[in-house]
Structure formats: structure tokens, C-alpha cells
């Protein structure tokens, strides 16, 4: 029987403006299958624009049934976009991480969290007139908080923010809207997550 994967998030997980095959969790699952791990395509609970509390409500509505063999979480950019403080984000993120752990059967080794990319480097941000330095600083604060919470729960935190800053302004790395990543950018993300997920799942292969 193939292993099960639950991917939780927002536009970055559902892959706004890219084909389903280009979403980073779908690319990750395909790469793991290519390595010999029997893993289903992810069950995705994510919607463009979702904040932490909206993801929480979305999980309630979807009511996924665990345990899952792999759970990924990437959430928070819309909290920052709407001007919410890190102090507001921290407890919401903690609650979602604990839900993710529950879906993974209480196994921290089966959960991975990706950092929030910096949308401040995108053409959309340039055109918006918002303070791009401030955007980056606020996202750094969010990611620092999330990394500390993950460490406290024994969960691997994978930093992909540098990839967004290095390449996120390039046309090939952007969807048509000039804001969301393209499948090419998602490929960089899944390649960074792959070694972690490979180790996490290699102890079973199939079951």
C-alpha cells in the first residue's frame, strides 16, 4: 500500500497559476516515487489567500483522516500581508503545527515545514508601492518564530526564503501574475525538501 502525504498551506502549496503537476508537493511526491518510495500524490488542503486561521478552518471543513506518512506545512504569508504581528502569528502557527503532528501520528520525523518566501522581490511588490525592505524584515521575523517553534517540537524547518530572494524576481521563476512562483521555482523548493523527506520515509519504503 502506498504511503499517504498531506500538504497544508496557502497559494504556495496549491500552486496558484501553475498546473497541478507543477505544485511543489506534487513534484516532491513524484521525486520520492522515482527514488523507489511508494508515496501517493499529496492530499492538499490549501487555498490562495489563506491566513493561519483560515487554514485551520479549512482543515476542519476537509476533515482529513490520519495518520499520514508525511505532512508538510507552509503558511503565514497572508498573515504578514494583512499586517498581523509576529505575536499574533506565533500561537496560530503553533496550533497548526500541532495539528500537523497529529495527522502524522504524533511523529515529528514525518512533518516538515517550509519557510515563507519573500514576495517583496517580485514585480508585483515593486508595483504595489509597499516598503519592500519592511516586507523582508517582517517575513524574517515570522520565519524566525516558526523555526523556533519547529525546533521546540522536533520538526524539521526547511529554509527556502533565500531561493525566493536569489531568483524570485526572474520572469522564468514567476507565474503570469508576477507574484506567485512558477513551476520552475517550485522545483527548487522541492529539491531542497527532497533530501529531508527521503530520509524521513526511507525507513519504511512501503507498508
Mean pLDDT score across all residues of the chain: 95
C-alpha cell at 137: 524584515
Rounded average pLDDT over 192-207: 80
Query: Reading across the β-sheet that carries 156-158, which strands appear in turn?
Result: 43-46, 5-9, 70-74, 111-114, 156-158
Residue ranges and CATH numbers for the domains of the chain are 5-202 (3.40.50.1110)
Question: CA 190 → CA 43, 44, 88, 92, 109, distances in Å?
Answer: 16, 15, 29, 25, 17
* Cβ(70)–Cβ(110) below 8 Å: yes
Which of 114, 24, 122 has the alpha carbon at shortest distance from 81?
122
Rounded average pLDDT over 48-52: 98
pLDDT band, very low/low/confident/very high, at 204 (cuts 50, 70, 90): low
pLDDT band, very low/low/confident/very high, at 103 (cuts 50, 70, 90): very high
- Reading phi first (left if > 0) and then psi (alpha if -120 to 50, else beta), residue 205 is in left
Rounded average pLDDT over 59-63: 98
Predicted confidence at residue 205, as pLDDT, reads 40
Calculate what percentage of the chain has a pLDDT beyond 90. 94
Would the pLDDT of 207 be above 90? no
* Cβ(7)–Cβ(70) below 8 Å: no
Q: Which residue, chain included where needed, has cell 511508494?
A: 38
Per-residue model confidence as pLDDT tens digits over 126-139:
999 999 999 999 99
Tell me the C-alpha distance between 101 and 149, whole Å.
13
Predicted confidence at residue 169, as pLDDT, reads 87
Predicted structure pTM score: 0.96
Predicted confidence at residue 83, as pLDDT, reads 96
Predicted confidence at residue 101, as pLDDT, reads 98
Would the pLDDT of 197 be above 70? yes
* Cβ(72)–Cβ(7) below 8 Å: yes
Per-residue model confidence as pLDDT tens digits over 146-160:
999 999 999 999 999
Per-residue model confidence as pLDDT tens digits over 158-179:
999 999 999 988 999 999 999 9
List helix spans (H) across the chain.
Answer: 11-14, 24-34, 52-62, 77-81, 86-103, 123-128, 132-153, 161-167, 183-202
Predicted confidence at residue 168, as pLDDT, reads 87
C-alpha cell at 14: 496549491
Cα R_g (the chain), whole angstroms: 16
pLDDT band, very low/low/confident/very high, at 4 (cuts 50, 70, 90): very high
Amino acid at each position: 500500500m502506498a504511503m499517504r502525504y498531506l500538504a497544508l498551506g496557502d497559494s504556495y502549496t496549491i500552486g496558484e497559476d501553475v498546473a497541478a503537476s507543477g505544485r511543489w508537493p506534487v513534484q516532491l511526491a513524484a521525486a520520492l516515487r522515482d527514488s523507489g518510495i511508494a508515496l501517493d500524490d499529496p492530499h492538499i488542503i490549501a487555498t490562495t489567500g489563506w491566513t493561519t486561521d483560515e487554514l485551520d478552518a479549512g482543515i476542519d471543513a476537509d476533515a482529513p483522516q490520519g495518520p499520514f506518512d508525511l505532512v508538510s506545512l507552509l503558511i503565514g504569508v497572508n498573515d504578514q500581508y494583512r499586517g498581523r504581528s509576529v505575536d499574533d502569528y506565533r500561537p496560530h502557527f503553533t496550533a497548526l503545527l500541532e495539528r500537523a503532528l497529529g495527522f502524522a501520528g504524533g511523529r515529528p520525523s514525518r512533518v516538515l515545514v517550509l519557510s515563507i518566501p519573500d514576495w517583496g522581490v517580485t514585480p508585483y511588490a515593486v508595483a504595489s508601492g509597499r516598503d519592500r525592505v519592511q516586507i523582508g524584515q517582517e517575513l524574517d521575523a515570522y520565519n524566525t518564530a516558526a523555526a523556533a517553534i519547529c525546533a521546540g517540537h522536533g520538526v524539521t524547518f526547511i529554509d527556502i526564503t533565500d531561493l525566493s530572494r536569489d531568483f524570485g524576481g526572474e520572469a522564468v521563476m514567476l507565474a503570469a501574475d508576477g507574484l506567485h512562483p512558477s513551476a520552475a521555482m517550485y522545483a527548487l523548493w522541492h529539491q531542497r525538501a527532497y533530501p529531508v523527506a527521503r530520509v524521513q520515509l526511507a525507513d519504511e519504503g512501503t507498508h
